[in-house]
A and B are shown apart, each in its own frame.
Chain A
Amino acid sequence: MSGPPGARGRRTGLLLVLPALVPVVAVVGAALTSALLAALGLAPLVGEPRLTGAAFTAPADQLASAVPLSLAIAAAATAAAAAVGLALALAAVATARRSRLLGALSAATVPVPHLVGAAAMGLLLADAGFLPRLLGVAPEDWPALVGGRWWVAVVAEYAWKESAFVALVVGGVLASRSRSYGETAAVLGAGRWARFRTVTLPLAAPALGAASAISFVYVLGSYEVAALLGRAAPEPLPVLAVRLSTSIDLAARPQGAAVAVVTAGLALLAVVLALRALRRLAAWG
Chain B
Amino acid sequence: MMTYGPATLTDLVADGTFPGTTRVLTLEEGTFGNASFLAVPSTSGDSAGALVVADLALSPEQQLAKADPATWGQFTVLDLDRLDPADRRGFEQLPASPVVPPYEELAANAQPELSAGWVTALDEGWRRAVLGG
Contact = CB atoms under 8 A, between A and B. Distances in A.
Contacts of A248: 119-120
Contact of B132 (A234, A247, A252): A234
Given A46-B42, A46-B43, A231 B120 contact: no
Main secondary structure of the interface of A (DSSP, over half): loop
Given A231-B131, A234-B132, A247 B120 contact: yes
Nearest to B128: A233
Interface string B95-119: 0000000000000000000000001
B89 interface: no
B131 A233 contact: yes
Contacts of B119: 248
Main secondary structure of the interface of B (DSSP, over half): helix
A46 B132 CA distance: 33
Interface residues of A, number: 10
Q: Most B CB atoms within 10 A — which of A45, A233, A234, A252?
A: A233
Given A231-B132, A234-B132, 12 more contacts: A45-B43, A46-B42, A46-B43, A232-B131, A232-B132, A233-B127, A233-B131, A233-B132, A248-B119, A248-B120, A249-B120, A252-B120
8 contacts: A45-B43, A46-B42, A232-B131, A233-B127, A233-B128, A234-B132, A248-B119, A252-B120
